[in-house]
Chain A
Amino acid sequence: MAENDHPPPLDELEKRLAAARDIQADRERGKGSGLAAEGKSYGLAIRLAIEMVSTLAVGVFLGWVLDRWLDSGPWLLIVGFFLGAAAGSLNVYRVSQTMIREPGDGETG
Chain B
Amino acid sequence: MSTEAHSPLSQFEVHTLVPIQIGSVDASFTNAAVFMVAAAASVLLFLSLGMAKRAMVPGRWQSLVELSYEFIANLVRDNVGKEGRRFFPFVFALFMFILFCNAIALVPYTFTVTSHIIVTFAFAAVVFVLVTLVGLFKHGLHFFSLFLPKGVPIALAPLLVPIEIISYLARPVSLALRLFANLTAGHTMLKVFGGFVVMLGLAGVAPLLVIVVLYGLETLIAFLQAYVFTILTCIYLNDALHLH
Contacts and interface: CB of A to CB of B under 8 A. Distances in A.
Interface stretch (A2-10, A16-24, A56-64, A67-75): A56-64
Interface residues of B, number: 22
Interface residues of A, number: 27
Contacts of A36: 220
A67 to B, nearest CB: 15
Nearest to A95: B174
A11 to B, nearest CB: 21
Contacts of B213: 35
B132 interface: no
A55 B166 contact: yes
B47 interface: no
Interface of A is mostly: helix
Given A43-B224, A87-B163, A109-B224, A54 B217 contact: no
A86 B163 contact: yes
Interface in A92-109: 106-109
Interface in B153-185: 162-164, 166-167, 169-170, 173-174, 177-178, 181-182
B170 A55 contact: yes
A47 B216 contact: no
Contacts of A25: none
A55 B217 CA distance: 27
B173 A62 contact: no
Contacts of A43: 182, 221, 224
Nearest to A63: B166
B173 A58 contact: yes
Contact of B170 (A46, A58, A107, A108): A58
B149 to A, nearest CB: 10
A88 B164 CA distance: 10
A90 B221 CA distance: 26
Nearest to B185: A46
A80 B169 CA distance: 13
Contacts of A83: 162-163, 166
18 contacts: A35-B213, A46-B178, A46-B182, A50-B174, A50-B181, A54-B173, A54-B177, A55-B166, A58-B169, A58-B170, A59-B166, A59-B170, A62-B169, A90-B163, A90-B167, A107-B224, A108-B224, A109-B220
Interface of A: 35-36, 39, 43, 46-47, 50-51, 53-55, 57-59, 62, 80, 83-84, 86-88, 90-91, 106-109
